[in-house]
Structure 1
Amino acid sequence: MERNLDVNSKRKAGTRKITTLAMLSAIAVLLGFTPLGIIPIPPVAATIMHIPVIIAAVLEGPIIGAIMGLIFGILSIIRAVTTGNILLVAILNPLVSVAPRILIGILTYYTYKLIPTKKESVRIGVAAAVGTLTNTFGFLGMMYLLYAEPFAKANNMPIDGVGKAIAVIGITHGIPEIIVAIIITVGVVLAVKKVRKN
């Protein structure tokens, strides 16, 4: 009897994870292919597409978070190809557009788990901030490491100014993205957890 309950419990958890992944993937696709997910601020775009990844990681763990990050990375490649992004060469490289997005799910989850406070909203908020920073600086950092020269040419600037330009982009995009991510993630995760308890 106890064994059956354990099997049923695992099945329910697995079904819940798949359902959460499917719902958040649909939201990610919506954000990826409508103006809702990308706010164009030249030379790159600010995004809220990382938020479903953060929510998935907090609610369902690092594996589901990493899968959502992979989906986000693939969507960003598709979007760049279909919109003719000036940074297309860099975005086509999975080390720039996919790897940092997978890390969002992993780092968000472990931040959430390791924050030494019982206040749930603080844990979720800090995890959302870390996930957003992972996205912003992971993407821009890899672009700088691998594509500083093409970035300089695309933006008509000397190569020694690329680091400063990327840091400015990181700050101007990162701060609003962090604020929005914290507000949305805390609200959604607390609401979902409340519904699951009932």
Structure 2
Amino acid sequence: MNNKLKTRQLTVIGLLSAISIVLGLTGYGFIPLPITKATIMHVPVIIGAILEGPIVGAVIGLIFGLFSIVQNIMSPSLLSFAYMNPLVSVLPRVLIGVTAYYSYRLVKVKNQSIKIAVSAVVGTLTNTLGVLTMIYVLYAARYATAKHISIKATAATIYGVAATSGTCEAIVSVLITVPVVLAIKKIRKK
């Protein structure tokens, strides 16, 4: 039984990590909305954490974060200097799996949809706020220079992005995560 569980966990890690990478490589991981682009690349991390636990979620998050570094090396952008730092691109992504799992476990309601939705929101906010806070803490001056804003406007700009993108991403995350996790749990019961 223990070997099957480990095999299943490795399979989930492989599948969901591959989905994150494909979402990033194809551009399907970014949903254009009227005010921003919402990323869904963190959703496989949340799904893995809910279904298989914090370690599986953290490993998928690690792979997502490492892919982010590689992606910024291969296709540099205005903010690649920040995303090449593991404290920005890896640490928050590893924490998605941990916060998503424990928020799912700590919500004391019987309704699975609500538990999953709360976990999706917490995981999404961990990603958005974690990455943007690390950019602010480590690179506020370089961010201001890259965005052609004053250093005083950096926090407002970064957390303005967090408020708009984070809200959209949380909604999209809930809309994807709830039905996927419910469907997988239903299949597992059979």
TM over 0.5: yes
* Structure 2: gaps spanning 5 or more residues: none
The 2-side partners of 1:65 and 1:34 are apart by: 22
Q: Percent identity?
A: 50
Q: Which residue of 2 aligns with 1:132?
A: 124
Q: Which residue of 2 aligns with 1:12?
A: 4
Describe the superposition over 1:163-191 as per-residue Cα deviations: whole angstroms up to 9, x where unpaired. 00011100111111001100111111000
The 2-side partners of 1:162 and 1:60 are apart by: 38
Give the SS at the match of 1:68: helix
From 163, 168, 189, the equivalent of 2:181 is 189
The 1-side partners of 2:31 and 2:187 are apart by: 31
Quote how far apart the aligned CAs of 1:21 are.
Answer: 1.1
Q: Which residue of 1 aligns with 2:97?
A: 105
Give the SS at the match of 2:60: helix
The count of corresponding residues between Structure 1 and Structure 2 is 188
The amino acid of 1:65's aligned partner reads G
RMSD: 1.4
The 1-side partners of 2:86 and 2:37 are apart by: 18
TM-score (norm 2): 0.95
From 20, 39, 43, the equivalent of 1:47 is 39
From 4, 11, 19, the equivalent of 1:27 is 19
Q: Which residue of 2 aligns with 1:122?
A: 114
Q: Which residue of 2 aligns with 1:58?
A: 50
Q: Which residue of 1 aligns with 2:165?
A: 173
Quote how far apart the aligned CAs of 1:40 are.
Answer: 7.1
Describe the superposition over 1:1-45 as per-residue Cα deviations: whole angstroms up to 9, x where unpaired. xxxxxxxx212211211111111111111011111013579xx96
Q: 1:39 to 1:77 in 2, by over 3 A?
A: farther
Quote how far apart the aligned CAs of 1:149 are.
Answer: 0.2
The 1-side partners of 2:156 and 2:181 are apart by: 35
The 1-side partners of 2:108 and 2:139 are apart by: 38
From 36, 54, 72, the equivalent of 2:28 is 36
The 2-side partners of 1:45 and 1:193 are apart by: 30
Q: Which residue of 2 aligns with 1:94?
A: 86
The 2-side partners of 1:159 and 1:22 are apart by: 41
TM-score (norm 1): 0.91
The 2-side partners of 1:111 and 1:143 are apart by: 25
The amino acid of 1:181's aligned partner reads S
The 1-side partners of 2:126 and 2:24 are apart by: 19
Q: Which residue of 2 aligns with 1:162?
A: 154
The 2-side partners of 1:26 and 1:94 are apart by: 20
**Runs of 4+ deviating beyond 4 Å:** none
The 1-side partners of 2:14 and 2:86 are apart by: 23
Worse-matched range after superposition: 46-55 or 127-136: 46-55
